[in-house]
Chains A and B, each alone.
Chain A
Amino acid sequence: MKHWVGRACIVAVSAIAVLSLAAPPAYGQARPYRAPRTADGKPNLSGVYQAISEAYWDIEPHSAAPGQVRELGASNAVPGGLGITDGPLPYKPEALAKKRENFAKRITLDPEIKCYLPGTPRGMYMPYPFQIIQTPAYIMIVSSYARAVRTIYMTDQKEAPADSWMGWSNGHWEGETLVIDTTGFNDQSWFDRAGNFHSDQLHVVERITAADADHLSYEATIEDPQTFTRPWKIALPIYRRVEKNAQLLEFNCVPFVEDLIYGSLRKPSSN
């Protein structure tokens, strides 16, 4: 028994060591944390959270750069970021060309500029809070940005019945970790403001674990054989908004983009 425990420990320690080596930018956790439980005995992930990261500009490592709107100067410039990926993105050659074109034309092509739904995983690390509302059968993830809603089906699971922006998510618990398997995407959303993109073959598997009382470790495996030569991973910490009155405020951005989208169709003489 003692021998077995010893060996199990060694195996576990080696596994952790390997994981830390393989993991993208480290935010290691020395000892496992056991989250408070819900009434049905699951880790309670409820709360308002937000990523603190430059990944929403570019999920890959990137230098600081000027913004796209001259008038906004430094206020819209790009801060440098270490990236959240596990290496250079393994684009197929024709997909890499499209990524570069997306980047070059990002001021007209980025769906965020038009207040379109962010897709998954982009909605998880945009600079807006999101809220997890956890029940045994459904876990809702609601972003302040564009009121994006994800329903995670924990019991009534089925294949995606239709394509969508946010995807169709089935979830299950693996110990402390919420594992979410999402398919049924359209090919419209991006990963960031740098034009990283996917096809409708996208398959995202997220692993969300409470790392301590106030932060989640978030990992996602991205698979899209039409766009990439192999699966790849992102990982980043996501923080609880600890303000006493933290809550989602409305960010219904449609009225903010109407002049941009429909302005050219306005009657010339009208105000």
Chain B
Amino acid sequence: MVTNVAPPRWLLLHIPLLLISYVCLLVAGTIGVLFIIQERRIKRREALAVASRLPSLEAMEGSIYKMILIAFPLLTLGILLGGHWALLTRGRYWGWDPTETFSFVTWIIYAIYLLLRWGRGWRGRRAAYLALAGFGIILLTLVALRYFSPLHRLGGRL
């Protein structure tokens, strides 16, 4: 085990990278909720759909995609840096600590979103549900960060 070596400063990028990525993904998830509401109205032929001031389905779908497209590389890099940090301080790259687990699941979900969209043209309702699922997992990650992770004590001492 490598002990008490102060990690190099560039590893601190781990934190802002993930924060920015989370903000983008939370925005994507929020638009996802609006998309699902409006899409359902249009599908069910509700008069409310025309009166609504929400943007068009296509515009909302495009924003969700763009947000995820920005967030995904940041998320990937942030997680890799986190792993490197753990390697230096704990002597292991990955330890399935709750935060690490949730991050992994988040990464998988958005990877699936992008693969399906690029490969099979997954858009619309199902894609919005994926964005929403990622949104939920991120919320869980933040809770885990705050309360359950021995490594990441957000708001406490590091």
Do A and B interact? no
